[in-house]
Amino acid sequence: MADLTFKYGTMKSGKTLDLIRVARSYREQGKIVMILTSDKDTRSGIDKVVSRVGVTAEAISISDDLNILGLIGRKHNPDIILIDEAQFLSTEQVRMLSEYVASKTGRNIPVICYGLKNDFKNELFEGAAALLAYADNLVEIESTCQKCNRKATMTLRFNNGLPIRFGDQVHIGDSEYVPVCKEHYASII
């Protein structure tokens, strides 16, 4: 039986790189891979995932109100489903994915979701909160604090070089975010 897995980490922890690695492994076995990503992340264009080291893969961009199961059933017959930027999924989408892997149709199709757990204010994203509740497996992709060598568990957002803890939860960017440990998160702000 397949599982719903949530692989989470801070910004710049290698989540997308891991997704692309898993996709490549399945494809080398001749299996069909379905990659989905949020339409909110437009940093590198649409319908693709791009790691910070420059490795890319084709994907289907989805909105947080799309019926993912309808998409799977209509257009694809995947052996695995990989979802990047899963923090942007809705609670309903995560619930549907959980039911899918438990159903007769989806029981042999693993679903692996990659995303942030918490935002720069250290609050859970909707999709992350739902995945923490519904996922069969939770896997942390570890990264290192950019201020010391400890494990990073939080992400700081910067504006004009200064750390901030206010503003909209979603601000698509890259250089504005830094992974840090709890101590540096608390001491920098």
pLDDT in tens, 76-89: 789 999 999 999 99
Q: Catalytic residue among 28, 58, 85, 142, which?
A: 85
Q: Is the pTM of this model over 0.85?
A: yes
Delineate the domains of the chain, giving CATH numbers in brackets. 4-142 (3.40.50.300), 151-188 (no CATH)
Q: What is the mean pLDDT of residues 159-186?
A: 76
Question: Which regions of the chain does DSSP assign to beta strands (E)?
Answer: 4-8, 33-38, 48-50, 56-58, 60-62, 80-84, 111-115, 137-140, 143-144, 151-152, 154-159, 162-164, 177-180
pLDDT in tens, 99-157: 999 888 777 899 999 999 999 899 999 999 999 999 999 999 999 999 899 999 999 88
- Identify whether 85 is a catalytic site residue: yes
